[in-house]
A and B are shown apart, each in its own frame.
Chain A
Amino acid sequence: MVKTIQLGSRLRYPITITKLYKEPNQPIKKKEALFQYSFKWKRTVGDNIRGETWEAEETTYADWSSPSDGELKSWKIRVGQEISRDQDCMVVKESCSHDVQFGGLCAICGKDMTEVNWAAESRDMDRAPINMVHDQTHLTVSETQAQKTENALQRRLLQHRKLSLVVDLDQTIIHACIDPTVGEWQKDPSNPNYPSVRNVKSFQLDDGPRGVANNCWYYIKMRPGLEDFLKKISTMYELHVYTMGTRAYAQNVARIVDPDKKLFGNRVISRDENGNMYAKSLQRLFPVSTKMVVIIDDRADVWPRNRPNLIKVSPYDFFKGIGDINSGFLPKQQGLLTPSAAATTNGGLARIAPAPSPDKEDSTTMEPPLEKALEEQEKTLEKQIKDRPLQALQEQQDKQDEAAERASATPENGNTESTTPPPPHHRHQVLQDDDRELAFLENHLTALHKSFFQAYEQNRLSQPSSSPSSLDTQSIPDIGSILTTLKAQALSGCKIVLSGIVPIGMDVYRSEIGLQVASFGAELRSSVTGDVTHLVVSSQRPRTKKVRQAIRYLPKIKIVNQDWLAACFSEWRVVEEGPYLIEGLEDAQKKLNEKVQDAEATETVSDADDTDSGNAPPGKKRILRLKSPPRVRFATAASTGNDEDEDEDEEDSDSGGDDEDEDEDMDEELEAFKPTDADGQLSPIDGLKTFNWGSADEELAEFLESGSDDEDEEEDEDDDEDGDNANGDEDEEAPAQATTNINTTSSSYEKLPAAQGTAPPTKRKADDEEEEESHKRQKSLLGPGPSSLRNELKDEDVEATTAEVETQAAHDDQDVQDADDLDKEFEELDEEALEADFLAMDDSDGDEAQGQQVDGDEAGNGGVSENG
Chain B
Amino acid sequence: MFFLHNLERRVTLHPSYFGRNMHELVTTKLVKDVEGTCAGDYYIIAIMDAFDVSEGRILPGNGLAEFTVKYRAVVWRPFKGEVVDAIVFSINPHGFFCQAGPLSIFVSSHLMPEEIHFDPNATPPQFTNNADMVIEPGTHVRVKIGGLRTELGEMYAIGSINGDFLGCLQA
Contacts and interface: CB of A to CB of B under 8 A. Distances in A.
Interface of A: 100, 102-112, 114, 133-136, 138-139, 141, 145, 149, 152-153, 156, 260-262, 265-266
18 contacts: A100-B110, A102-B108, A103-B151, A103-B154, A103-B156, A105-B147, A105-B158, A107-B110, A107-B111, A108-B108, A108-B110, A134-B92, A145-B94, A260-B123, A262-B123, A265-B125, A266-B91, A266-B92
Nearest to B136: A266
Contacts of B120: 153, 156
A105 B92 contact: no
Contact of B80 (A110, A138, A266): A110
Given A103-B156, A104-B156, A141-B94, A114 B110 contact: no
Given A133-B94, A139-B94, 15 more contacts: A102-B106, A102-B158, A104-B149, A105-B149, A107-B94, A107-B111, A108-B110, A112-B149, A114-B149, A134-B92, A136-B92, A149-B93, A149-B94, A262-B123, A266-B124
B70 to A, nearest CB: 33
A103 B149 contact: yes
A153 B125 CA distance: 13
B77 to A, nearest CB: 16
B158 A110 contact: yes
A868 to B, nearest CB: 60
A133 B158 contact: no
Contact of B111 (A108, A138, A156, A262): A108
Interface string B85-113: 00000111111010000000010101100
A83 to B, nearest CB: 37
A110 B123 contact: no
B139 to A, nearest CB: 14
B123 A265 contact: yes
Contacts of A152: 93
A154 to B, nearest CB: 12
From B95, B108, B123, name the one whose CB has the most chain A CB atoms within 10 angstroms: B108
B156 A261 contact: no
Interface string B137-163: 100000000111101001011100000
Nearest to B137: A266
B90 A266 contact: yes
A831 to B, nearest CB: 72
B97 to A, nearest CB: 7
Given A106-B158, A111-B147, A133 B92 contact: yes
Nearest to A114: B149
A476 B156 CA distance: 39
Classify chain B: how many residues form its interface, as a range: 20 to 34
Nearest to A135: B90
From A103, A135, A145, name the one whose CB has the most chain B CB atoms within 10 angstroms: A103
B86 to A, nearest CB: 14
A153 B121 CA distance: 11
B128 to A, nearest CB: 15
Nearest to A159: B121
A106 B147 contact: yes
A269 to B, nearest CB: 11
Contacts of A104: 149, 151, 156
A133 B148 CA distance: 21
Contacts of A149: 93-94
B156 A102 contact: yes
Contacts of B148: 105, 110
Nearest to B160: A110
B22 to A, nearest CB: 31
A105 B156 contact: yes
A110 B90 contact: no
Contacts of B151: 103-104
Contact of B156 (A100, A134, A138, A156): A138
A135 B137 CA distance: 13
A416 to B, nearest CB: 48
A179 to B, nearest CB: 34
A433 B157 CA distance: 50
B125 A110 contact: no
Given A136-B90, A139-B92, A149-B94, A107 B106 contact: yes
Contacts of A111: 147
Interface string B8-23: 0000000000000000
Contacts of B149: 103-105, 112, 114
A134 B97 CA distance: 13
A105 B123 CA distance: 29
A136 B96 CA distance: 11
Given A108-B108, A108-B110, A114-B149, A100 B94 contact: yes
B116 to A, nearest CB: 15
Interface string B36-62: 000000000000000000000000000
Contacts of B90: 135-136, 266
Given A112-B149, A139-B106, A149-B93, A107 B123 contact: no
Contacts of A260: 123
B61 to A, nearest CB: 27
A134 B93 CA distance: 11
Contacts of B106: 102-103, 107, 139
Contacts of B124: 261, 265-266
A261 B123 contact: yes
Nearest to A160: B121
Contacts of B158: 102, 105-107, 110
From B92, B95, B154, name the one whose CB has the most chain A CB atoms within 10 angstroms: B92
Nearest to A150: B93
A229 B121 CA distance: 21
Nearest to B156: A103
Contacts of A105: 147-149, 156-158
Contacts of A102: 106, 108, 156, 158
From B95, B123, B124, B158, name the one whose CB has the most chain A CB atoms within 10 angstroms: B158
- Rank and list the top 6 A-B pairs by shortest CB-CB distance, nearest first: A110-B147, A103-B156, A110-B146, A107-B108, A102-B106, A110-B158
A102 B137 CA distance: 19
Given A102-B156, A261-B124, A109 B94 contact: no
A145 B94 CA distance: 9
B76 to A, nearest CB: 18
